Amino acid sequence: MQALFTSVGVVGTGAMGRGIAQMAAQAGSSVLLFDTQPGAALAAQSTLAETWGKLMAKGKLTERMQADLVSRVSCAESLASLSSCQLVIEAIVEKIEVKQRLFSELEGLLAPDTVLATNTSSLSVTAIGAALKRPEQLAGFHFFNPVPLMRVVEVIAGLKTDAGVCQRLTHYARQFGHTPVSAQDTPGFIVNHAGRGYGTEALRVASERVADFATIDRILRDQMGFKLGPFELMDLTALDVSHPVMESIYRQYYDEPRYRPSVITAQRLAGGVVGKKVGEGFYRYDNGVANVPSEPAVPVMNALPPIWVSPKAARRAELYQLLKNLGARIETGASPSTAALIMVAPLGLDVTTLAAVERLDPTRTVGIDMMLDDAATKRRVLATNPATREDMRNAAHALFASDGKAVSVVRDSGGFVTQRVVATIVNIGADMCQQGICSPKDLEMAVTLGLGYPMGPLAMGDRIGPTNVLEILFNMGTVYGDPRYRPSPWLRRRGALGLSLLHEEA
Ligand code: NAI
């Protein structure tokens, strides 16, 4: 393969620089490594040789390919040695003045048409370029850790970046075997922006004591298919990394309520309870294994009350079918008998509001989350209201667990757990498209590859139905009176017209 850039400089040879150098060499480029820390470039060079040695031992590379790759990487004594490079990628410390100084220096050493790329994850490409004579030559080239495994890269155009520079980086990323996505120069670019919903909304759910951390994790894994629950994920990333990102994006968007961080993570960070790496985060770890509290046992009931379902329940027909399958005694009268367990299935509203509005006896009213088809999920979620009687809560728990499916009973909350978190993710993704930060297709690609979600935010919205997402957000806005739930125009218009969230205007 003929690499698009035959000679590439990598400045900063830490975790990211090494990964980028590996991919560049594998794409066929000659790579020059430079680092200000004495011995760092040499160490990176030998790590790369080791990596390729291991791949050879596994039979993934021939001896000749391995030798070829090793011969393509060398160390530069000084920045001046990079003068003949056609592309220089920077992966140094995340400080704007240091990055600006580096690129200014490089400009004086390199040919005018050399492409300059920054791997920054949180600084503005436009702001870095503002210190340059030729800002049009600089673009963001944002990889994820570990680079060889995380096969997505954001190509970011600063305000003055030449479109041709982005095109060349996009093409080159494909030679790495990576999927390039194009992003406008905005805080968090695509992946770190789209990822705001999951953790922050889960933290809000926890802060209202709707459920504990482990229950929220179980619900989001089992109902929506996330590989890791939000608290497991934050434990893995560690709060010293993720809390500052939450704060930074919130501030950079001038205190946009959708991104508002939580005092829970601020306090835990201050107390050093940052995650798995220190043995304690949202979970405690013994030898790296999380100590997960066990689930509350299913109550044992001698007899179950009859069940009456609100006529306004979401997916009412499916709920009836489910109750029939569970062998429940279903009441079909216009109103519940005095013995009945009353079921409501709200979208976005809380059980309390439904009991009040529908004039139901709150002591016997329990909610079930029917946003998703019961058959498509591995867990049912029930919610009580502050007046629900213990026997009614236990009866509902026992009944819905009677076929062996996992059940979580949470406290009342507009939108249970999954509705809240998913609607927030969909809304943030939709708004990114509304703002033109990226195309719908690139959003979906970046989120599935960069965050490992089971599907992109827009596909998630389509799965639930854009009109339902809109209803959830509208109702949560009513319950909480908080502007963070206001729907993006992208969602509002597509939801109102029954269009897919992936639909782009002609
Ligand atoms: P690191 O700390 O492992 O490596 C940085 C390297 O840059 C060190 O070897 C250091 O000696 C060198 N360095 C610092 N200032 C320099 C200068 N002026 N000139 C030459 N070398 C210099 O850091 P890491 O994790 O590799 O990150 C590097 C960059 O990549 C940062 O801008 C970071 O925001 C970005 N990034 C990091 C990700 C991660 O998960 N670690 C993910 C995506 C982007």
* Residues 30 and 177: beta-carbon distance below 8 Å: no
Q: From 130, 165, 185, give the residue that closes a domain.
A: 185
Nearest ligand 1 atom to the CA of 40 is: 9
CATH of the domain at 228: 1.10.1040.50
Residues β-bridged to residue 452: none
Same-domain check for residues 395 and 315: yes
Domain-located, residue 349: yes
Same-domain check for residues 134 and 79: yes
Predicted local confidence at residue 228, as pLDDT: 97
The residue contributing the CA closest to ligand 1 atom 42 is 144
Q: From 291, 323, 354, give the residue that closes a domain.
A: 291
User: Would the CB of 426 count as within 6 Å of ligand 1?
Assistant: no
Same-domain check for residues 279 and 315: no
Let me know if 77 is a catalytic residue. no
Same-domain check for residues 45 and 181: yes
Predicted local confidence at residue 492, as pLDDT: 97
Predicted local confidence at residue 505, as pLDDT: 94
Domain total of the chain:
3
Same-domain check for residues 91 and 167: yes
Q: From 291, 321, 347, give the residue that closes a domain.
A: 291
Domain-located, residue 260: yes
Angstrom distance (rounded) from CA 384 to CA 368:
9
Q: How far is the CA of 90 from the centre of ligand 1 (A)?
A: 8
Predicted local confidence at residue 328, as pLDDT: 98
Same-domain check for residues 11 and 154: yes
DSSP designation for 85: -
Tokens at residue 131, please? Answer: 């210190």
User: Would the CB of 248 count as within 6 Å of ligand 1?
Assistant: no
Predicted local confidence at residue 221, as pLDDT: 98
Q: Which residues contact 157 (CB under 8 A, 6 or more apart)?
A: 125, 139, 140, 163, 166, 182, 183, 184, 185
Domain-located, residue 168: yes
Of 154, 201, 444, 471, the active-site residue reads: 154
Write down the residue that tokens 């205190």 correspond to.
255
Same-domain check for residues 245 and 284: yes
Our mutation pick for probing the ligand 1 site, out of 10, 23, 90, 92, counting the most ligand atoms within 8 A of Cβ, is: 92
Let me know if 30 is a catalytic residue. no
Let me know if 192 is a catalytic residue. yes
Let me know if 154 is a catalytic residue. yes
Domain-located, residue 299: no
Domain-located, residue 500: no
* Run of H or E residues at 470: helix 466-480
Angstrom distance (rounded) from CA 241 to CA 304:
49
Domain-located, residue 460: no
The residue contributing the CA closest to ligand 1 atom 9 is 14
Residue spans of the chain under pLDDT 50 = none
Our mutation pick for probing the ligand 1 site, out of 75, 93, 116, counting the most ligand atoms within 8 A of Cβ, is: 93
Same-domain check for residues 50 and 130: yes
CATH of the domain at 180: 3.40.50.720
Q: Give the pTM.
A: 0.96
Q: How far is the CA of 166 from the centre of ligand 1 (A)?
A: 22
Helix axes 466-480, 457-464, angle to 10 degrees: 90
* Residues 446 and 181: beta-carbon distance below 8 Å: yes
Domain-located, residue 342: yes
The residue segments making up the domain with residue 150 are: 7-185
Q: How far is the CA of 35 from the centre of ligand 1 (A)?
A: 10
Same-domain check for residues 250 and 158: no
Domain-located, residue 454: no
Same-domain check for residues 286 and 317: no
Same-domain check for residues 82 and 231: no
Query: Pairing mode, if any, of strands 138-142 and 152-157?
Result: antiparallel
Of 29, 121, 124, 262, the active-site residue reads: 121
The residue contributing the CA closest to ligand 1 atom 44 is 121
Same-domain check for residues 199 and 171: no
Angstrom distance (rounded) from CA 368 to CA 370:
6
Predicted local confidence at residue 275, as pLDDT: 98
- The CA distances from residue 330 to 251, 309, 325, in Å, are 52, 8, 11
Predicted local confidence at residue 357, as pLDDT: 96
